[in-house]
Amino acid sequence: MSLALGALLGLGVLLTLAPLLWPAKRARADGAGISRVRDELTLAGLGAVPVAVIVVIVAVLAMVTGAIAQAVFNVPALTVVAATLGAALLPLLVRARAARRRAANRAVWPDVVDHLVASVRAGMSLPDSLGALADLGPASTRASFAAFDDEYRRTGNFGACLDRLKSTLADPVADRILETLRMAREVGGSDVTAVLRGLAGYLREDAALRAEVVARQSWIRNAARLGVAAPWLLLVVLASRPETIAAYDSAAGAALIIAGVAVTIVAYQAMVTLGRLPEERRWFH
């Protein structure tokens, strides 16, 4: 009897501590990771592409580049490096395109806020003000606001339509603007235009400061990228000689290649981290 009671007590303690140990944290981390991937795809213009398709394309690119490297060099270490680079190619392109879109959108959000202020001061409702941006807003955001206008006319559910618009835009600045409008509609208030004008001024100052910093850093970042790529370009050139292939097709050569890959990754990540400007997090998504 005491053994059964002890086992029951141990099971109860385990079940009590289980949510604090593994599953919940892993689930939240996995959900956050998938959410970030979807945001990147949306900003890159690939929001309609399932994540599974991206994974398949990455796997295919890894196999193709690995096969090409194996056929050309016939060095296992170089084959692994080529496959890794092939797998990283699409994520890097998506991230670069998303970063360019995010930087371009940062310059148009103040104009979006100005249009909203003008519409609200003209007596339009908040849903109509957002819908008007499908015709009056910047060209890069018109499709998203047109989809919002169509959905709101069909459903009349302002909150759900705002959530869909936030997912479509996938931008922290858009989250701030839309959550301000949601609060103004739900709790009321006569200061919404003043808040939006202050937000527009802050966004313009932030965009100007970021543009200046990026311009000052551009030549340093380009030089760092060239420094990272130069040794591997030299390796490709030297690999045209049979004695070079024979030297790298050994345990010492493989260790040298692996060490070079590790140093390259660490140096590039350090360069990116040191030069990265702080990005706002998305609101309530």
| pLDDT per position as a tens digit, 1-16 | 555 555 555 555 555 6
For residue 275, which of 194, 207, 218 has the smallest C-alpha distance? 218
Half-sphere exposure of 267 (CA within 13 A, CB side): 15
Q: According to the model, what pLDDT value does residue 21 have?
A: 55
User: What pLDDT score was predicted for residue 262?
Assistant: 86
User: In whole angstroms, how far apart are CA 181 and each of 73, 116, 193, 199?
Assistant: 59, 10, 10, 12
Tens digits of residue pLDDT in 36-73:
777 777 777 777 778 788 888 889 999 998 888 888 87
State the pLDDT at residue 189: 60
Q: Where are the alpha helices (DSSP H) in 239-282?
A: 242-248, 251-275
Residues of the chain with pLDDT under 50: 24-31
Predicted confidence at residue 29, as pLDDT, reads 42
Looking at residue 28, its pLDDT comes to 45
pLDDT at position 18: 55
Q: Which of 135, 129, 116, 136 is nearest to 198 (CA)?
A: 116
Between helix 158-169 and helix 126-136 the angle, nearest 10°, is 30
Token reading at 270: 């350090």
